[in-house]
Amino acid sequence: MLILSIESSCDETSVAVTSERKVLSNIVATQIAEHRLYGGVVPEIASRRHTEAISGVCKAALSEAGVTFGDIDAVAVTFAPGLIGALLVGVNYAKGLSAALGVELIPVHHLRAHIAANYIDSDLKPPFLCLTVSGGNTIITEVKDYTSFNPIGGTADDAAGECFDKVARALGLSYPGGVTLDKIAAAPDDKAYPLPVPKTAGEYDFSFSGLKTAAVNLIHNYSQRGEEIDVAVLAGTLRHRVCGILTEKTLAAARALGYKTLALAGGVSANSELRQMLSDECKKSGVKLYLPELKYCGDNAAMVGVAGYYEYLSGNTATLDLNAAATMPIDYR
Choose between 40 and 210: whose C-beta lies nearer to ligand KG4. 40
CB-CB contact of 249 with 204 (8 Å): yes
Instruction: For residues 109 and 240, give the distance between their C-alpha atoms in angstroms, rounded to a whole number.
Output: 30
CA angle 12, 326, 268 (to 5 degrees): 50
Closest approach, Cβ 2 to ligand KG4, in A, equals 25
CB-CB contact of 43 with 288 (8 Å): no
Choose between 72 and 277: whose C-beta lies nearer to ligand KG4. 277
Closest approach, Cβ 266 to ligand KG4, in A, equals 5
Instruction: For residues 266 and 173, give the distance between their C-alpha atoms in angstroms, rounded to a whole number.
Output: 21
Choose between 182 and 311: whose C-beta lies nearer to ligand KG4. 182
Closest approach, Cβ 210 to ligand KG4, in A, equals 18
Closest approach, Cβ 274 to ligand KG4, in A, equals 7
CB-CB contact of 37 with 61 (8 Å): no
In the chain, the DSSP E strands lie at: 2-7, 12-19, 22-30, 74-80, 104-109, 128-133, 138-145, 148-154, 261-265, 288-290
Closest approach, Cβ 280 to ligand KG4, in A, equals 17
CB-CB contact of 259 with 212 (8 Å): no
Choose between 29 and 74: whose C-beta lies nearer to ligand KG4. 29
* Residue 196, phi then psi, degrees to nearest 5: -70, 160
Residues that bind ligand KG4 (CB under 6 A): 10, 134-136, 161, 164-165, 176-179, 182, 266-268, 270-271, 298-299
Q: Determine if the peptide bond prior to 81 is cis (ω within 30°).
A: yes
The β-bridge partners of 219 are none
Choose between 103 and 175: whose C-beta lies nearer to ligand KG4. 175
Closest approach, Cβ 36 to ligand KG4, in A, equals 12
Closest approach, Cβ 111 to ligand KG4, in A, equals 8
Choose between 104 and 293: whose C-beta lies nearer to ligand KG4. 293
Choose between 85 and 161: whose C-beta lies nearer to ligand KG4. 161
Closest approach, Cβ 313 to ligand KG4, in A, equals 25
Indicate the pairing of strand 138-145 with strand 128-133: antiparallel
Choose between 97 and 238: whose C-beta lies nearer to ligand KG4. 238
Q: What residue number has its CB nearest to ligand KG4?
A: 267
Closest approach, Cβ 141 to ligand KG4, in A, equals 15
**b/e code 176-206 from CB counts within 10 Å (16+ = b):** bbbbbbbeebeebeeeebebeebebeeebbb
CA angle 210, 212, 214 (to 5 degrees): 65
Choose between 8 and 25: whose C-beta lies nearer to ligand KG4. 8
3-class DSSP state of 270: helix
